[in-house]
């Protein structure tokens, strides 16, 4: 049996009781740090989980990041090994802690998802995709908030090392809120130059989130511009660009704003709130 | 301090280790069974959590379901009480276990959410909203899958009892996959009668999910028509209507189809796969 056990968002104690029981009975335990950051040293988690002789091995699988777990499921089944999933929290639902509704009940009694997700990737000198902006624009037109997951670069090789076949990797990079905001503002300037109607401005209400997990998490709300100079602390950062705001959501956002922030929140049109 | 502690998807052991530690130190524990079903008797969870003299009290809050937790946060803070959230899994991310991608990496290197969510509500004789169908149509046009959360009716009063002010509640009702599919097929027939282009048919590939939690969960994939006669077991049921399918997703879906199901999966256009 191959178990997939969610580690949750926090230290080693954010595993479920059930998950921990299973880990302690397993003959082999792999810690997956390829699709996220592990927040604690491998030795600590190994000791807590009661995994004797825990050793950090290099990633032995060559997997596409977004489909890592499906790929492992299919490989296991092909090898005649059954699998079982023990779920846990992920950023996809935990962002609700900032007070923006992941789901909301509308008057028509139809519940719709209130947060859609895009990823913002690191630009290079020659590769500056703007496609995520189109998605943000669509969302703001329709109403939902946009959760922007920010790029992670781990185990990346420089072009030089890649061409020379040297397995030397660049230090990991995690996109900050400010870096994402800079790219976004550049796209907005490009849109402005082309005479396009803008989906948002530097005054649009956003939320900056960092290390959404126990104890240390940081949440700031304010305008995009304000948040660019906020210290959110270490990675991973996320950005939420607000869509239509419910009054209860505004009340929640105020919990995370500066002393003056969001006091003067004004709705300029159905999908634009400026402070 | 007011703690919000996710119970996860399973029995009492699907709480996190951290959550359990906190529960055991609390002077008062409330079990919230208003926004979902608790899968185990209150006395069992009370005993497991080590909560002495656990009693099931009636819901003492008058809360809108979709904003329950935000409302409690704000009330607590207004009363000078701090709060803390310990996250856990929810259906919003756990549906990934059927193999449809909640997120996927596209060629343009922009990751977009692959599952959007609507709720399907119980129709009455006089109230038969079709608005969720429009959302499904939009999703299928764009590509994402649609997760349909099915209606829950708890603590509902009959019109007669409501008018007479009698606090007598109807037995709880949980919409089944088959009930949702019937409503959907009726809408499709209405659309056909109006000469509209259909977003899906009875042959569209869907997934039926029931009790997505430990041990007992049921997942079936197949056409909408096929799944209507599948026994998914007890509530809660969910329905996923496929959008664009990745080959890895098709491989995963085949794990949950009947012996003949999905063998002859054909793509009829960019967002229609029929079996």
The closest alpha carbon to B252, from A125, A85, A184, belongs to A85
A106 and B65 Cβ atoms separated by less than 8 Å: no
Looking at residue B65, its pLDDT comes to 46
Say whether pLDDT at B177 is over 90.
Answer: yes
Strands ordered across the beta sheet of B115-120: A103-105, A111-113, B115-120, B145-150, B237-241, B205-210, B218-223
Name the E strands within chain B.
Answer: 2-5, 83-86, 103-105, 111-113, 115-120, 145-150, 152-153, 173-174, 205-210, 218-223, 237-241, 266-269, 272-274
**Which tokens sit at A98?**
């900032």
Please, is B52 exposed, middle or buried when counting C-beta atoms within 10 Å of its C-beta (0-12, 13-18, 19+)?
exposed
| Record: contact B67-A9, CB cut-off 8 A | no
pLDDT computed for residue B48 by the predictor: 79
Residue A149 to chain B, least CA–CA distance (Å) = 9
Token pair 């919003």: residue: B92
Average the pLDDT over B180-200 and give the result: 94
User: Taking a contact as any Cβ pair under 8 Å apart, which residues of chain B between 16 and 55 contact chain A?
Assistant: 16-18, 20-21
Rounded Cα distance between B185 and A114, Å, is 26
Neighbour-count burial of B60, counting CB atoms closer than 10 A to its CB (0-12 exposed, 13-18 middle, 19+ buried): exposed
Span B80-97, average pLDDT:
83
Q: Which residue on chain B is closest to A74 by alpha carbon?
A: B252
B8-42: pLDDT as tens digits: 887 888 899 999 999 888 888 887 766 666 666 66
Strand partners, B269: B272
- CA-nearest of A149, A145, A150 to A101 is A145
User: Residues B135, B146: contact at Cβ < 8 Å?
Assistant: yes
Residues forming a β-bridge with B239? B148, B208
Does residue B108 belong to the interface with chain A, where contact is any CB pair within 8 Å? Answer: yes
Provide, as residue numbers in chain A, all residues whose Cβ is less than 8 Å from the Cβ of B14: 16-18, 86-87
pLDDT tens-digit readout, A135-163: 888 878 777 788 898 888 877 778 788 88
- Distant-in-sequence, close-in-space partners of B196: CB < 8 Å, separation ≥ 6: none
> Bridge-partner residues for A153, per DSSP?
A173
Tens-digit pLDDT profile for residues B227-261: 999 889 888 899 999 888 877 788 888 888 876 66
Contact B99, B253 (CB under 8 A): yes
Ranges under pLDDT 50 in chain A: 58-65, 104-112, 269-271
Q: Which two tokens stand for residue A174?
A: 């995690």
Compare CB distances from B117 to A14, A97, A112 and report the shortest one's residue: A112
Listed residue (A249, A248, A231) closest to A240, CA to CA = A249
**Residue B244 in tokens:** 């664009």
**A135 contacts on B by Cβ (under 8 Å):** 110, 112
For B121-125, B154-158, B159-163, B268-272, which range has the lowest pLDDT when averaged over its residues? B268-272
Which pLDDT score is estimated for A125? 87
Strands B152-153 and B205-210: unpaired
pLDDT of residue A263: 62
Cβ B113–A111 below 8 Å, yes or no?
Answer: no
Q: Hey, what are A94's tokens?
A: 């935990």
Check pLDDT > 80 for residue B111. no
Strand, helix or coil at A148?
A: strand
Q: Quick check: B118 and A111 CB within 8 A?
A: yes
Between B140 and B224, residue with greater pLDDT = B224
Cβ-Cβ contacts under 8 Å, B214 against chain A: 18, 86
B54 pLDDT more than 60: no
Top-confidence residue, B83 or A213: B83
Contact B38, B211 (CB under 8 A): no
DSSP, collapsed to helix, strand or coil, labels residue A102 as coil
Higher pLDDT, B198 or B63: B198
Kindly indicate whether the ipTM for this predicted assembly is greater than 0.95, answering yes or no. no
pLDDT at position B194, please?
Answer: 94
Domains of chain A: 2-86 (3.40.1010.10), 91-274 (3.30.950.10)
For residue A99, the chain B residues in CB contact (below 8 A) are 70, 73
pLDDT at res. B230: 87
Q: How far apart are CA B30 and CA B68, in angstroms?
A: 14
Q: Which of B48, B43, B37 is nearest to B12 (CA)?
A: B48
């Amino acid at each position: 049996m191959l178990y997939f056990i969610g580690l949750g968002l926090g230290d080693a104690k954010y595993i479920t009781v059930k998950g921990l029981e299973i880990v302690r009975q397993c003959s082999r335990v792999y810690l997956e740090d390829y699709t996220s950051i592990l927040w604690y040293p491998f030795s600590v988690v190994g000791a807590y989980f009661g995994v004797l002789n825990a050793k950090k091995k290099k990633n032995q699988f060559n997997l596409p990041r977004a489909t890592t777990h499906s790929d492992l499921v299919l490989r296991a089944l092909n090898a005649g090994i059954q699998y079982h999933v023990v779920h846990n929290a992920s950023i996809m639902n935990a962002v609700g802690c900032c007070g923006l509704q992941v789901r909301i009940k509308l008057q028509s009694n139809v519940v719709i998802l209130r947060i859609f997700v895009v990823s913002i990737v690191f630009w290079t000198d020659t590769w500056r995709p703007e496609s995520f902006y189109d998605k943000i624009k669509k969302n703001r037109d329709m109403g939902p908030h946009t959760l922007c997951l920010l790029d992670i670069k781990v185990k990346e090789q420089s072009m030089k090392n890649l061409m020379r076949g040297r397995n030397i990797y660049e230090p990991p990079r995690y996109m900050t809120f400010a870096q994402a905001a800079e790219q976004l503002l550049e796209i907005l300037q490009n849109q402005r130059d082309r005479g396009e109607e803008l989906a948002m401005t530097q005054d649009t209400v956003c939320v900056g989130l960092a290390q959404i997990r126990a104890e240390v998490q940081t949440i700031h709300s304010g305008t995009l511009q304000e948040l660019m100079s906020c210290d959110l602390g270490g990675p991973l950062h996320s950005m939420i660009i607000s869509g239509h705001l419910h009054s209860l959501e505004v009340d929640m956002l105020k919990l995370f704003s500066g002393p003056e922030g969001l006091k003067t929140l004004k709705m300029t049109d159905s999908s634009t709130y400026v402070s």
